[in-house]
Amino acid sequence: MPSTTEARIAFRKYFSWYWFPTIGSIVWIGTLLSLLITWFATGSPLYGGMGRRGQYIPYISNIGADFLKPLFITGSCITAICFVLSLFGARWLRHRGRILPNTSTRQKILSIVSIVGAIIGGLGLILLAIFDTHRYSVLHRIFLAVFCGGVLVSALGTVLEYWGLERNYSKTSRALTISMWTKLVFFFIELGLAVAFGVLMTNRINNAAAVVEWVLGILFTGYLLSFNLDLIPATRSRTGQFKDMELARPVSTSEEPMTARSTPSEAVVG
């Protein structure tokens, strides 16, 4: 019979934290595609006051405020919950030493900031779906800003945390380096598009703003999926395995010391 440890590792291959970014990204892109396909299939209708504004490309929320509103709310809720749990999972697994742990208090604080930002952004996403743009236009725009702001704060905290981690583990974990650069690229692209979206909306260039919003929504799927780079290695690790990883450089006096006694097998995982 397999040992308890072997059974636990086998279980993690089929049910682990990496399921949250996977499910969240599938649900989110599925929601967006359902809205878009429905719009095309119904003859590309003009919702609300789109015609009066000279708008022929709908915002995501224009379609989500129509008869597909229950789908939009459900997809937004599942995505928001999975987004928060993906970040919480990374924090928990680092604390348990099942993936590369934080090496300073500053990194832990940045991780908490990213989780708080995700919670704020997730609540914004749920509320903007509930308070749709047709019936509650002012509230909808407020919650849209909350969603964008929360996600950007969360992404910035994550990028800064991973920047510090990558400096410490660059010689022992190529996966961490790839994850850090992936999130950094997504952050700058999403930031640039969010600014462009705000400027276009303010100037009522609605068709261009709608295109930017759809691109932002689709790219969020990729950002959510990028957490699999961090969470999937936990399916092959045990508690405390990475707590003694060899650092790429000595930690400063302001950082928490770590003992450098990693094994060759540990140094290539993660």
What distance, in Å, lies between the first and last C-alpha atoms of the chain? Answer: 28
104 in a structural domain: yes
DSSP 8-state code for residue 49: T
In a domain, 11, yes or no: no
Report, as an integer, the average pLDDT of 70-89. Answer: 95
Residue whose pair of structure tokens reads 């348990």 in the numeric block: 96
More confident site: 170 or 20: 20
pLDDT of residue 18: 83
Domain assignment present for 9: no
Band of the pLDDT at 82, cuts 50, 70, 90? very high
Which of 38-52, 104-118, 195-209 has the lowest average pLDDT? 38-52
Q: Is this prediction's pTM over 0.85? A: no
Alpha helix stretches (DSSP H) within the chain: 4-14, 19-41, 60-64, 69-96, 105-130, 137-169, 174-202, 206-225, 228-231, 264-267
Best-predicted range by mean pLDDT (38-52, 115-129, 134-148, 196-210)? 115-129
Mean pLDDT computed over 110-124: 95
**Among residues 81, 96, 223, 209, which one has the least CA distance to residue 162?**
223
270 in any annotated domain: no
- CA nearest to 265, candidates 248, 242, 247: 242
Mean local confidence (pLDDT), 130-157 = 92
> Within 13 Å, how many C-alpha atoms sit on residue 37's CB side?
6
Contact 124, 150 (CB under 8 A): yes
pLDDT of 204: 86
Asked if residue 235 belongs to a domain, the reply is yes
Give the residue with greater pLDDT, 252 vs 61: 61
Give residue 70's identity as a one-letter amino acid code.
P
Q: How many domains does the chain have?
A: 1
* Residue 32 confidence (pLDDT) above 50: yes
Model confidence band, residue 267 (pLDDT cutoffs 50, 70, 90): very low
Q: In whole angstroms, what is the distance from residue 53 CA to residue 187 CA? A: 31
Which of 169, 160, 182, 267 shows the shortest CA–CA distance to 229? 182
Does the residue 231 lie in any domain? yes
Asked which of 175-179, 204-208, 256-260, 264-268 is least confident by mean pLDDT, the reply is 264-268
- C-alpha to C-alpha distance for 47 and 118, rounded to whole angstroms: 30
**Both tokens assigned to 120:** 């704020």
SS3 of residue 45 by DSSP: coil
**Mean pLDDT (the chain, rounded):** 82
- 268 pLDDT higher than 60: no
Mean pLDDT of 77-81: 96
Answer for the pair 58, 40: CB distance below 8 angstroms, yes or no: no
**Residue 171, pLDDT above cutoff 70:** no
Task: Confirm whether 7 is domain-assigned.
Answer: no
Question: What domain range includes position 194?
Answer: 16-259
User: Buried b vs exposed e over 134-156: b needs ≥16 C-beta within 10 Å?
Assistant: eebeeebeebbebbbebbbbbbb
Q: What is the 3-state secondary structure (H, E, C) of 56-113?
A: CCCCHHHHHCCCCHHHHHHHHHHHHHHHHHHHHHHHHHHHHCCCCCCCCHHHHHHHHH
pLDDT at 179 over 70: yes
Please report whether residue 139 resides in a domain.
yes
CA 166 to chain centre: 19
Q: How many residues does the chain have?
A: 270
Across residues 106-132, what is the average pLDDT? 94
For residues 232 and 251, which has the higher predicted lDDT (pLDDT)?
232
Residue 231 CB neighbour total at 10 angstroms: 21
Integer Rg of the chain from CA: 21
What integer is the mean pLDDT of 206-231?
91
